[in-house]
Amino acid sequence: MTLIVTGGAGFIGSNFIRCMRSAHAGIRIVCVDKLTYAGNLSTLQGLLDAPDFRFVKADICDREAMSALIAEERPDAVVNFAAETHVDRSIEDPAVFLRTNVLGVQTLMDCCREHGVPRFHQVSTDEVYGDLPLDRPDLLFTEETPIRTSSPYAASKAAADLLVLAYCRTYGFPATISRCSNNYGPCQFPEKMIPLIIINALADKPLPVYGTGENIRDWLYVDDHCCAIDLILQRGRPGEVYNIGGHNERRNIDVVRLICHGVGKPESLIRHVADRKGHDLRYAIDPAKIHRELGWLPQTPFEEGMRRTIDWYQHNRSWWEEIVSGEYRHYYARMYGEG
Ligand code: NAD
Ligand code: TYD
C-alpha cells in the first residue's frame, strides 16, 4: 500500500506517519510538505533515510507538482494534513489560510480525480462547529451540528469541508472527513498552548493565559487521533464525516496548572493576558458515530498523555530550541511582548 501524506512534517502528520509505519508492515509513505514556518525536517528525523519513505518538498496548491507526483506514485490514498493551523495567526492575516486550506484542498482533489485515486481523506477540525456555551455541559458537537465558524482559520477549514462534500455528491469523489478536537503530544509547534506553556515553564518564563482561562477544550493525545484516521481509511464510508474526540474537557487554566505541577514550577508564573478576539468558549465532541461504526475509542488518559508530552519536551530540547531561536521569536514578541 502507498499513501501520500500531505503536511507530514508538521505535528499530527509526522505522528501519523510514525503510527502508520508501525501499524502496517511494508507500507510506503510519500510525505509532501511545503516546509512553512510550522513544518520542520528535524521532525522527520530517522525517517528520511528509511526504506519505503519518500519526502517531497512541495506546495499542495502547485497543481503541476501534485498531478505529476500522484501520476508517478499511484497512491492508494491521499491523506491531507497540510494546512495553516494557528487561530491567532489567522486573525493577524487570513489570506494564506484561504489559499492553503481551501484552494490547496481543491487542487489536491482535482489531481486525485484526474488520476483516479481510490480514497482521499481530509483532516478537519471541531472548530468548524463554532463554540458551545460554558453553562450547558449537556451540549456536544455531533456530525449534524450546523457549521458556524468563529475564526478565519475555522472558516477556511469549514469551506474545505463543504467543498469535499460537494465533490463527493457531484462527482462521486471517494472522500472522507474527520473533525477532531484539540490534539497534544510530541512535536507540536510551540505557538500552540500546551507546548508554549511547557517550554515557558521549563525556562521560568511567564505563562500567558488568555482572558480568565475558563475556556474549555476537549484534549486528545495525538496517537489516538492517528489511530482513528487509520480506521477511517480502512473502513470509513466515502462521503461521511466522523467526529473524533476524547471526552476530555478541561479549562485552560487547569491545563496550565497541571503543566506547572508536571514541570515542577510555581503557579505564580501564570499571567492572565488580553483575550483572543472572538475566543471560542467551549469545544466538546460527541464521538459516538466513530465508536459505533468503527469501534474507535481513545486509549490515552490525559494525565498519562501529558506526562509523556512533558517528558518529550524535556528530552528533546534541541528540537524546540532551534525553533524558538529563529523566526518564531518575532511572532512571540508581537503576540506576548519581549518577556
Ligand atoms: P501544523 O501546523 O503542525 O502542520 C501543518 C503542516 O502543513 C506543516 O508541516 C506545514 O509545513 C505544512 N503546510 C502548510 N501549508 C502547506 C502547503 N501549502 N503545502 C504543503 N504543506 C503545507 O498542523 P497540525 O497541528 O499538525 O494540524 C494538521 C491538520 O490537522 C490540519 O489540517 C489541522 O487543521 C488539523 N487539526 C489539527 C488539530 C490540532 O489540535 N493541532 C485539531 C484538529 C484538526
Ligand atoms: P491553541 O493551542 O491555540 O488551540 P485552539 O485555539 O485551536 O483551541 O489554544 C488552546 C486554548 O488555549 C485556547 O482557548 C486559547 C488558549 N491559549 C492561551 O490561553 N494562551 C496561549 O498563549 C495560547 C497560544 C492559547
Structure confidence at residue 338 (pLDDT): 74
Within 13 Å of residue 9, how many CA atoms lie on the same side as its CB?
Answer: 21
Pocket of ligand 2 (CB under 6 A): 87, 182, 192-193, 196, 208-210, 215, 217, 252, 276
Closest ligand to C-alpha of residue 84 is 1
- Supply the pLDDT for residue 246: 84
How far is the centre of ligand 2, averaged over its atoms, from the C-alpha of 192 (Å)?
6
Give the separation between CA 176 and CA 96, rounded to whole angstroms: 24
Q: What is the pLDDT of residue 304?
A: 98
Cα(82)–Cα(34) distance, integer angstroms: 8
Q: What is the DSSP string of 150-186?
A: -SHHHHHHHHHHHHHHHHHHHH---EEEEEE-EEEST
Domain 2-185+221-247+282-300 annotated CATH 3.40.50.720: yes
Q: Which residues contact 127 (CB under 8 A, 6 or more apart)?
A: 87, 149, 150, 151, 153, 154, 157, 280, 283
> Known catalytic residue: 126?
yes
Contact 287, 164 (CB under 8 A): no
Sheet holding 216-221, edge to edge: 182-184, 216-221, 249-251
Could you report the average pLDDT of every consecutive run of 10 residues in the chain (339 residues)? Answer: 98 98 98 97 96 97 98 98 98 98 99 98 98 98 98 98 98 98 98 98 98 98 98 98 96 98 98 98 98 98 98 98 93 88
- Atom 20 of ligand 2: nearest residue by CA position: 209
For residues 327 and 201, give the distance between their C-alpha atoms in angstroms, rounded to a whole number.
21
What pLDDT does residue 339 have?
61
Rounded to the nearest angstrom, the distance between the alpha carbon of 273 and the centre of ligand 2 is 12
| Ligand 2 centroid – CA 280 distance (Å) | 10
Catalytic-residue membership of 153: yes
Active-site annotation holder among 73, 127, 218, 230? 127
The response to whether residue 296 sits with its C-beta less than 6 Å from ligand 1 reads no
Which contiguous run of DSSP H or E holds residue 89?
helix 87-92
Host H or E run for residue 56:
strand 53-57
Ligand 2 atom 12: the closest Cα is on which residue?
193
Give CA–CA dist 98/158, Å, rounded: 11
Residue to mutate (ligand 1; options 42, 66, 85; most atoms within 8 A of CB)? 85
Q: Under a CB-based contact definition with an 8 Å cutoff, are residues 223 and 15 in contact?
A: yes
CA of 297 to the centre of ligand 2 (A): 25
